[in-house]
Structure 1
Amino acid sequence: MATRLGLGLPQMRQYSIGKDVPDVARAAEDIGYDSLWVFERALFPEPATQGLYNIDGLPWPDQYRSVAEPLVTLTLAAAATRRAELGTSVLIAPLHLPFQLAKALASLDAASGGRVLAGLGTGWSLDEYAAAGVRPFEERGKVLDEIIDVCRAVWGPDPVAHDGTLTKIAPAVVGPKPARPIPILLAAGNRRAWRRLVDRADGWLPVSTGAERVAADWRRLRELAEERGRTAPIRTVLRVNTTRLPKPYEGADRRPFQGSVDQIVQDLAEHAAIGLDEILIDLQGTARDAAELTDVAAEVFEKARAAGV
């Protein structure tokens, strides 16, 4: 069975969000992509107070200077499509009030006919937490736990009730309900986060750091699930951030998904062999405009399918 393929929607500053998001979403669905995805970047600190991913000295990419709000972007895509699933990879959950986030996701799922995938993470930017976090950065894991609880409650049967640290819901009717139970996927990268995923979530959203490492992490995650008695399958969606170049990258230091379309497809085939359910391909960063993004997305899709992905 072929690996499902998803496409990252245009959110960066070279795009006209109101026009390009619906156009690219429709085109991607017509090409054959199974899902459409957004990510969250709340701000761009200047000067930088910490490195990218909290790694000292690693600069923030210039393309992060303007990133459209993820749920607004996904709503534009939902209105323009009929089939493709609509995912967040990832939404930095602790930057959102739990009840409002649960309502927004439920409304979007109801409006789209049950196509939302709620991919959640805790983020890493201290500046984003200072600007928008509902609690301090140090409490991000506890906040994520409560957000999951609130979402499950709000999406479940009425009367909804919740008594937590951040959110207290006296018994109430809360609608609209999602069209179906919204899958919660987590961007878990260490054993503590994997335990949360195994015990409380529906799926895993790894980011590619090379096929060998992803495969090893996937093996460890399944072993942990077996240890903890989980029997439900774990849905997997691998995010790959590409650096597409007009010519093949010749250096020995080539990173995964860096280079020509053919090199990107070669990497896709290597990662598809791991046996994950789906690969989300983000091509927007190096495209000049929506027309180029659409053309490259079509080329990648066709060559990936031809390569057996």
Structure 2
Amino acid sequence: MTTALGLGLPQNHQYDVGRDVPDVARAAERIGYESLWAYERALFPEPATQGLFGMPDVPWPDDYRSVAEPLVTLSLAAAVTERVRLGTSVLVAPLHGPFQLARSLATLDAASGGRVVAGFGSGWSLDEYAAAGVRPFEERGRVLDEVIEVCRAVWGPDPVTYDGEITRIASAVVGPKPARPVPILLAAGNKQAQRRLVDHADGWLPLAMGAEQTAAQWRELQELAAERGRTRPIRTVLRANAKYTPKPYEGRDRALFQGDAEQIVEDLVAHAGIGFEEILIDLQQGTRDAEELKDVAAEVYEKARAAGV
């Protein structure tokens, strides 16, 4: 089975969002990519109050200094494409009011002809939670649960009713509706999140951590699904954060997906063997501008397909 390939859109500070997102989106569809993805990083605290992913003393990467809002980014891509799916990987759902987020996703799906994939995560930045002001960081799991419930309600038949901690809809017509049921995928990095995924979501959207570790996580999730009686399949999309270098990276300390196109594809091949339906490759880190991003994306796609991915 051929693995679908997706591409991360140019959201970081070195890109001109209004010009480069449509340009790269058109090129990616032409190259053959089957999906386009946007991620969320709401702010860059300076000085940082916590390390990357909440780990002490791990600095935030410079790429996070200015990241374009994901749904606006996908709207720009939707307007100039016809075929590719449009996904968030990931959108930090508890930073958003559940009702308005559900409406925004529904509108984007309706406008794009049913191409949206909603990838949600609970986030890790205390500063982002403080700025968003929806709920405290400690309540992020409960907020994510409500986001999923509100999305299902708002996207479903009218009249819509819902009574939650944040959202109360007495009885209302809410439109536009999505063109089809929008799939909800979760990053789900711990046991509690995995249970949420198995019980309430359509699929899994992890970050590649090495073929062996990622395969072990996938087996664990499948076992949990069997334990909890889930019968419908779990959709799978793997996120690969690449760090492109024009020349091959030399040395034993090469990080995962670091190096030239050949080395990136080498890691793609290893992860494709796990059996993921789709792999999205984010090539923003290391590419200087949209022209280089398009060139590298074309080379990676060609070499990946030649390698059987």
Q: Common fold, TM-score beyond 0.5?
A: yes
Q: Which residue is equivalent to 1:144?
A: 144
Give deviations 1:261-287, integer Å, cap 9, x for gaps: 101000000000000110000001211
State the partner residue of 1:54: 54
Code of the residue aligned with 1:87 in structure 2: it is G
Q: Partner of 2:96 in structure 1? A: 96
Kindly indicate whether residue 299 of structure 2 is the aligned counterpart of residue 299 of structure 1.
yes
Which residue in the other structure is 1:8 paired with?
8
Which residue identity lines up with residue 85 of structure 2 in the other structure? E
Could you tell me which residue of structure 2 aligns to residue 233 of structure 1? 233
Residue 232 of structure 2 aligns with an amino acid whose one-letter code is A
1:178 is matched with: 178
Share of identical aligned residues, percent? Answer: 75
Shift of 1:230: 0.4
- Whole-Å separation in 2 of the counterparts to 1:285 and 1:270: 21
- Which consecutive unaligned segments of at least 5 residues does structure 2 have? none
Compared CA separation, residues 308 and 133, structure 1 to 2 (3 A) = farther
Q: Which residue of 1 aligns with 2:112?
A: 112
Alignment pair present for 1:86 and 2:86: yes
Equivalence for 1:208: 208
Report the counterpart of residue 158 of structure 2 in structure 1. Answer: 158
Q: What is aligned with 1:264?
A: 264
Shift of 1:133: 3.8
Aligned amino acid, residue 192 of structure 2 = R
- Measured in 1, the distance between the counterparts of 2:133 and 2:88 equals 18
Give the structure 1 partner of residue 68 of structure 2: 68
Q: Distance in 2 between matches of 1:6 and 1:209?
A: 18
SS in 1 for 2:281: strand
Question: Which residue of the partner structure matches residue 273 of structure 1?
Answer: 273
Q: 1:274 corresponds to which letter in structure 2?
A: I
Cα RMSD of the aligned pairs, angstroms, is: 0.6
Helix, strand or coil at the partner of 1:53: helix
Q: 1:244 and 1:15 mapped to 2: Cα distance? A: 16
How many angstroms does 1:63 deviate by?
Answer: 1.1
Q: Find the counterpart in structure 2 of residue 286 from structure 1.
A: 286
Distance, in Å, in 2 between the alignment partners of 1:63 and 1:2 is: 32
**In structure 2, how many angstroms separate the alpha carbons of the residues matched to 1:190 and 1:66?**
28
1 CA distance for matches of 2:259 and 2:156? 45
- Match of 1:247? 247
| Matched residue type, 2:245 | L
Aligned-partner Cα distance in 2 for 1:285–1:74: 19
Which aligned runs of 4 or more in structure 1 are off by greater than 6 angstroms? Answer: none
Amino acid in the other structure paired with 1:160:
V
Shift of 1:40: 0.2
In structure 2, distance between residues paired with 1:220 and 1:255:
25
Number of residue pairs the alignment of both structures matches: 309
Contact 1:94-1:133 within 8 A present in 2 as well: no
Could you tell me the TM-score, scaled by structure 1's length? 0.99
Structure 1 letter corresponding to 2:249: Y
CA distance in 2, matches of 1:137, 1:208: 25
Q: Secondary structure at the match of 2:79?
A: helix
1:255 offset after TM fit, Å?
A: 1.5
Write the distance in 2 (CA, Å) between the matches of 1:279 and 1:175.
32
